[in-house]
Amino acid sequence: MSLAPAIAPSGWEASLHLTFRRDGERTVLGRRTSVGPLAVQKALYPEGQQVCHAIVLHPPGGIAGGDQLDISVGIESGGHALLTTPGATKWYRSTGAESSQRIGLRLASQAVCEWMPQENIFFEAARARNALTVDLAEGAVFCGWDVMCLGRTASGERFRSGSICQQWRVERLGKPLFEERCVLEGGSALLGSPIGMAGFPVCATLMVAGSGSDRAALDACRAIVPAEACKWGVTLMDDVLVARCLSHSAQVAREYFLALWRLLRPNYARIPASVPRIWAT
């Protein structure tokens, strides 16, 4: 998906390309190439050899106006990879140049990809595009989430100016399963509207596609309630289960999604959920 962002000459242009493959009972990181400040240091196996964990690093610590990041991940037949980040991704204020992050995931037959980054924090006056595309082969499963925080609320900051464009596209064999584009303008009425953000600074989305989720799974997910006052809901569209959460805290949204993940993962991966260790550091 081409976003055609406006890139300032001073912005970082970085790319990271990873390929995971099955080697006997193991999933291994078979290939990794990078340009600029994006990297994966090494493959990790905190829950045994079947699942390969990778931590995507962006050493500058945040995305500034003009930065363009491009991450592509391929998982070959039968592989299972979990990708996360070491901390929240900070999108800094911009004086005009737009920043972008493009993530492309391609899953071969019977592959599993879990894309579970920590939250995105959009500073006041950030101008950002954040796009995720997923291409599934027959029998492949994707589980992923996005937690979007508008402003640094702990310091009283609100998202009164700037713009955010969030895009999701999931397809199987060229046929769209899910596609969504959300544009939020700083200070707009949509941030307070009951059909928009409803005054909440955190908007989170979780998706499981290709897992064979059914009505029983949907009912079980709907029985899970966030720990604090939120707006939330779960929907099943054919083979795509989507959960939403509007909250005042990224931690509340994450804990809610972890409860859903613990319920769903034994069904689509045949193993219990194991929280990435990096989240505890």
Tell me: the pLDDT tens digits for 31-78? Answer: 999 999 999 989 999 999 999 999 999 988 799 999 999 999 999 999
pTM of the model: 0.93
Instruction: Please indicate, yes or no, if residue 97 is contained in any of the structural domains.
Output: yes
pLDDT of 180 > 80? The answer is yes
Structural domain count, the chain: 1
Q: Which two structure tokens, joined as six digits, stand for 110?
A: 């019977």
Whether residue 146 contacts residue 180, with contact meaning beta carbons closer than 8 Å, is answered with: no
Instruction: Please indicate, yes or no, if residue 39 is contained in any of the structural domains.
Output: yes
Please state, in angstroms and rounded to a whole number, the distance separating the CA atoms of residues 276 and 71: 20
List CB contacts of 205: < 8 A, sequence separation 6 or more: 145, 146, 168, 242, 243, 244
Task: Identify the residue with better confidence: 280 or 68.
Answer: 68
- For range 201-230, the mean pLDDT: 94
pLDDT of 4 > 70? The answer is no
Instruction: Please indicate, yes or no, if residue 150 is contained in any of the structural domains.
Output: yes
Instruction: Please indicate, yes or no, if residue 274 is contained in any of the structural domains.
Output: no
Dihedral sign (CA 69, 129, 147, 211): negative
Which among 192, 206, 191 is positioned nearest to 244, based on CA atoms?
206
Please state, in angstroms and rounded to a whole number, the distance separating the CA atoms of residues 265 and 213: 11
Instruction: Please indicate, yes or no, if residue 8 is contained in any of the structural domains.
Output: no
Instruction: Please indicate, yes or no, if residue 34 is contained in any of the structural domains.
Output: yes
Instruction: Please indicate, yes or no, if residue 4 is contained in any of the structural domains.
Output: no
Instruction: Please indicate, yes or no, if residue 260 is contained in any of the structural domains.
Output: yes
Segments forming the whole domain that contains residue 250? 13-269
